[in-house]
Amino acid sequence: MDSIDAAIVNRLQEGLPVCARPFDAVAATLGISVDELLSRLQRLLDDKVLTRFGPMFNAESMGGALSLCAMQVPADRYDEVAGQVNAFPEVAHNYEREHLLNMWFVIATEQPQQAGIVISQIEQATGCRVYDMPKQQEFYIGLKLAV
């Protein structure tokens, strides 16, 4: 990664304008051609410096639901329960964390009422109580990683 790559990563974490040629202004700011910007962007994606480039969607605005859930899973059943939880397609992310509540996962459903159903199914499958923590207010989404 050179300084131009770094500038691209920094600039493209902010929004791109929605217009016919959205890369023109960005390329001009960086002092490179649109072709060079696009080929560098492709390489940053190929090298997995960037995981994605495109519209960032808001699941709730599409009518769906998203919730963060936590469980207290006994150590001797941890991997078994992880497998049971991960088997639900509605579970988008799942992390092991160091806490009494040691399993944290995100449930994403297209219909808001599905979330509660999935939570009951997970409780039935695992025998563990699910602590549902849907967001009540959002203050910021995104991260400005300076490179």
Partner 1 sequence: MTGNPQATNKAQQDGQSLDAIDRQIIVATQSGLPLVAEPFAALAEQLGLGSDEVLQRVADMQACGIIRRIAAVPNHYALGYTVNGMSVWNVSDENITELGRLIGSLDYVSHCYQRPRHLPLWPYNLFAMVHGRSSVDVVARVSTIANLLGEHCRGHEVLYSKRILKKTGLRIKA
* Residues of this chain, 89-108, that bind partner 1 according to CB under 8 A: 91-101, 103-105, 108
Residues in contact with partner 1, total (CB under 8 A)?
A: 78
Asked if 32 interacts with partner 1 (CB under 8 A), we say: no
* Closer residue to partner 1 (CB): 72 or 117: 72
Q: Are strands 130-133 and 65-71 parallel, antiparallel or unpaired?
A: antiparallel
Note whether 52 binds partner 1 by CB under 8 A. Answer: yes
Note whether 36 binds partner 1 by CB under 8 A. Answer: no
DSSP reduced 3-state for 142: coil
Exactly one of 36, 82, 116, 121 binds partner 1 (CB under 8 A); which one? 82
Neighbours of 50 (CB within 10 A): 16
Report the alpha-carbon distance of residue 132 to residue 71 in Å, rounded.
Answer: 9
Tell which residue, 122, 140, 142, has the closest CA to residue 132.
122
Angle 29-33-35 from CA coordinates, rounded to 5°: 130
Of residues 118 through 147, those in contact with partner 1 by CB under 8 A are 131-147
For partner 1, the binding residue among 7, 12, 30, 32 (CB under 8 A) is 12
